[in-house]
Amino acid sequence: MASTPLTDLLLMGRGRDLGSERGVSCDGELPAASDPTLVARAKAARKALGSRAMILGHHYQRDEVIDFADITGDSFKLAQAAASNPEAELVIFCGVHFMAESADVLTTARQRVILPDLAAGCSMADMAASNQVNEAWQVFERVGIASRTIPVTYMNSTAAIKSFTGEHGGTICTSSNAERAMRWALDQGEKIFFLPDQHLGRNTAVLKLGLTLSDCVLWNPWKPNGGLTDQEILDAKVILWRGHCSVHGRFTLQNIADVRERVPGVQVLVHPECQHDVVSHADVVGSTEFIIKTIQGSAPGSKWAIGTELNLVQRLARTYPDREILFLDKTVCYCSTMNRIDLPHLVWAMETLVTGRIVNQISVDPTIAAFSRVALERMLALP
């Protein structure tokens, strides 16, 4: 399969207004976090926007933001929610950049997707640049495996990488359907190129598909030939991109040992983005939505140590005070980029939109959007 160079995102900046001719940045306009009228201002702006707007809040957002979300969920659920409400002219996405991109890809041309703080990115998504991925594919072509290698890209990726996946016959996956996506890929070809989260790819391949750790190799984009020999590439069943989540990747076996010693009877519940040895030694493993449902269905008095983003763990602990719910790592750690969207940024965005100015619009290049949509539709069609 020949590789066609992909146009990078039309709008790739951070920290400046994207995609809006009349937009402005929030420099100098952001309300103070200590402003005692913030909640009242947020309520007034939300009322003024009415049905023209919908606010989407990812599970990892702060409570002060979630309080104003019309819908909460994981990244794909929220993008689908935006697409299913074409009447909403303004989609205010309280999440990170790649999520807003997915919403822009799936919504209509008249809808505008707004990210309240453009610095809300994703370190994992940024670990796979389109030029690096194209260079890897060129190596696959040289070695002779490109025609039988199927890309599978995690939802937590830029639109440019989703587009690469769609153009080269691959599919997107979520942490919930990664097993289905990878089984489908092996039905289509002989090898999987998994982007950009090595841990989700490895955990799914070994713990769900029955492959071995030796069947998986790690492609390092900063090394010649990905740090691999041609033979290693030829022998591999799964080629994993060297990317990871900065939050989920921090949990360790020592964290599990410590909490089990400290809290007898505790159950360890982790996200599949965690390292392989952590996932292998946890009691329960699943996506963000799965984690929430597991706690919802748990018995009063049960004890849980959860390995995922701290905002969600704290919210679950407050929602279910009759269970003992702990953060798996004793060190407090929020997702530094997800946590950037706060009430002042949300208020600024809504109040500015009320005046008719469009700010912080996320807009994906049409060609990239088209191939991204192909990859997303393949995921929706998975058996």
**Segments making up each domain of the chain, as ranges:** 125-245+372-380, 248-327
What's the fold here for domain 248-327? Rossmann fold (3.40.50)
Q: Which residues contact 351 (CB under 8 A, 6 or more apart)?
A: 41, 45
160 touches 127 (CB < 8 A): no
The crossing angle, in degrees rounded to 10, of helices 97-106 and 159-167 is: 50
User: Does the structure show a pLDDT above 90 at 311?
Assistant: no
Predicted confidence band at 60 (pLDDT cuts at 50, 70, 90)?
confident
What's the fold here for domain 125-245+372-380? Rossmann fold (3.40.50)
Mean pLDDT in residue range 152-176: 95
Give the whole-number percent of the chain exceeding pLDDT 90.
Answer: 76
Predicted confidence band at 160 (pLDDT cuts at 50, 70, 90)?
very high
Distance between CA atoms of 137 and 156, rounded to whole angstroms?
20
User: Does the structure show a pLDDT above 60 at 229?
Assistant: yes
User: Does the structure show a pLDDT above 90 at 80?
Assistant: no
Distance between CA atoms of 66 and 73, rounded to whole angstroms?
10
Distance between CA atoms of 59 and 85, rounded to whole angstroms?
20
Instruction: Count the neighbouring beta carbons within 10 Å of the beta carbon of residue 242.
Output: 18
Mean pLDDT in residue range 33-48: 94
User: Does the structure show a pLDDT above 50 at 11?
Assistant: no
